Protein backbone atom coordinates (compact mmCIF):
# COMPACT_ATOMS: atom_id res chain seq x y z
CA UNK A 1 0.00 0.00 0.00
CA UNK A 2 1.56 3.26 -1.13
CA UNK A 3 1.33 5.88 1.60
CA UNK A 4 1.94 9.58 1.97
CA UNK A 5 2.23 10.80 5.55
CA UNK A 6 1.90 14.28 6.96
CA UNK A 7 1.58 15.62 10.47
CA UNK A 8 -2.02 16.82 10.67
CA UNK A 9 -1.10 19.73 12.96
CA UNK A 10 -2.27 22.32 13.51
CA UNK A 11 1.02 24.08 12.94
CA UNK A 12 0.81 27.57 14.38
CA UNK A 13 3.29 30.31 13.40
CA UNK A 14 3.29 34.06 13.92
CA UNK A 15 2.84 36.39 10.96
CA UNK A 16 6.15 36.98 9.18
CA UNK A 17 7.72 33.71 10.34
CA UNK A 18 8.81 30.73 8.24
CA UNK A 19 6.38 27.81 8.19
CA UNK A 20 7.89 24.39 7.54
CA UNK A 21 5.62 21.58 6.36
CA UNK A 22 6.85 18.02 6.00
CA UNK A 23 5.79 14.92 4.13
CA UNK A 24 7.15 11.39 3.78
CA UNK A 25 6.21 8.80 1.20
CA UNK A 26 6.58 5.05 1.02
CA UNK A 27 7.02 4.32 -2.70
CA UNK A 28 10.64 4.65 -3.80
CA UNK A 29 9.46 4.67 -7.42
CA UNK A 30 7.67 7.99 -6.94
CA UNK A 31 8.61 10.49 -9.60
CA UNK A 32 6.64 13.69 -9.09
CA UNK A 33 5.82 15.56 -5.92
CA UNK A 34 3.21 18.24 -5.43
CA UNK A 35 2.05 20.68 -2.81
CA UNK A 36 -1.57 21.80 -2.82
CA UNK A 37 -3.31 24.30 -0.59
CA UNK A 38 -6.91 23.67 0.46
CA UNK A 39 -9.03 26.23 2.22
CA UNK A 40 -11.91 24.88 4.28
CA UNK A 41 -14.76 23.76 2.04
CA UNK A 42 -12.81 24.49 -1.15
CA UNK A 43 -10.94 22.46 -3.72
CA UNK A 44 -7.17 21.86 -3.68
CA UNK A 45 -5.10 24.53 -5.41
CA UNK A 46 -1.68 23.68 -6.84
CA UNK A 47 1.16 25.63 -5.20
CA UNK A 48 4.16 23.95 -6.78
CA UNK A 49 5.69 20.70 -7.92
CA UNK A 50 9.17 19.24 -7.80
CA UNK A 51 10.81 16.30 -9.57
CA UNK A 52 14.50 16.46 -8.71
CA UNK A 53 16.41 16.29 -5.47
CA UNK A 54 17.15 19.68 -3.98
CA UNK A 55 15.27 22.91 -3.65
CA UNK A 56 12.83 24.68 -5.92
CA UNK A 57 11.77 28.23 -5.15
CA UNK A 58 8.69 30.12 -6.30
CA UNK A 59 8.12 33.43 -4.61
CA UNK A 60 7.66 32.89 -0.87
CA UNK A 61 7.47 29.12 -1.33
CA UNK A 62 10.35 26.64 -1.45
CA UNK A 63 9.86 22.94 -2.03
CA UNK A 64 12.61 20.56 -0.95
CA UNK A 65 12.96 16.96 -2.10
CA UNK A 66 15.21 14.23 -0.74
CA UNK A 67 14.51 10.99 -2.57
CA UNK A 68 17.01 9.00 -0.54
CA UNK A 69 15.11 9.86 2.64
CA UNK A 70 11.73 9.78 0.84
CA UNK A 71 11.01 13.21 2.20
CA UNK A 72 9.41 16.33 0.75
CA UNK A 73 8.98 19.64 2.50
CA UNK A 74 7.45 23.03 1.85
CA UNK A 75 8.78 26.23 3.36
CA UNK A 76 6.64 29.34 3.41
CA UNK A 77 8.60 32.50 4.10
CA UNK A 78 7.05 35.65 5.52
CA UNK A 79 3.87 33.76 6.44
CA UNK A 80 0.64 35.74 6.16
CA UNK A 81 -2.73 35.14 7.82
CA UNK A 82 -4.07 34.41 4.31
CA UNK A 83 -1.72 31.40 4.20
CA UNK A 84 -3.84 29.76 6.91
CA UNK A 85 -5.15 26.62 5.22
CA UNK A 86 -4.55 22.89 4.95
CA UNK A 87 -1.50 21.97 2.89
CA UNK A 88 -1.68 18.70 1.01
CA UNK A 89 1.33 16.75 -0.12
CA UNK A 90 0.71 14.56 -3.17
CA UNK A 91 2.94 12.02 -4.85
CA UNK A 92 2.80 10.38 -8.25
CA UNK A 93 4.46 7.14 -9.29
CA UNK A 94 2.06 6.26 -12.07
CA UNK A 95 2.27 7.01 -15.79
CA UNK A 96 -1.42 7.91 -15.66
CA UNK A 97 -0.80 10.91 -13.44
CA UNK A 98 -2.65 9.42 -10.49
CA UNK A 99 -1.83 11.26 -7.26
CA UNK A 100 -1.73 9.84 -3.77
CA UNK A 101 -2.49 12.51 -1.20
CA UNK A 102 -1.45 12.85 2.38
CA UNK A 103 -3.88 13.76 5.12
CA UNK A 104 -2.76 17.38 5.01
CA UNK A 105 -1.23 19.73 7.58
CA UNK A 106 -3.35 22.56 8.91
CA UNK A 107 -1.39 25.79 9.12
CA UNK A 108 -2.51 28.68 11.28
CA UNK A 109 -0.73 32.01 10.84
CA UNK A 110 -1.48 34.32 13.75
CA UNK A 111 -1.42 38.12 13.23
Quick one: 13 or 32, whose CB is closer to another protein? 32
Asked whether 32 and 49 are in contact (CB, 8 A), the reply is: yes
* Contacts of residue 80, Cβ cutoff 8 Å, sequence gap at least 6: 15, 109
Question: Taking a C-beta distance cutoff of 8 angstroms, is the pair 109, 18 a contact?
Answer: no
What are the residues binding another protein (CB under 8 A)? 31-32, 34, 42-46, 49, 51, 88, 90, 92, 94-104
Q: How far is the CB of 111 from another protein (least distance, A)?
A: 27
Min dist CB 6 to another protein, Å, is: 10
Nearest CB to another protein, comparing residues 15 and 45: 45
For another protein, the closer CB: 17 or 93: 93
Q: How far, in Å, are 21, 28, 35 from residue 48 at the CA level?
A: 13, 21, 6
Amino acid sequence: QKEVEQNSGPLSVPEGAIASLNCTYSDRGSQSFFWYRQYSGKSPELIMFIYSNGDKEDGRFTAQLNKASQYVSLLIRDSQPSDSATYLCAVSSSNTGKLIFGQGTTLQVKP
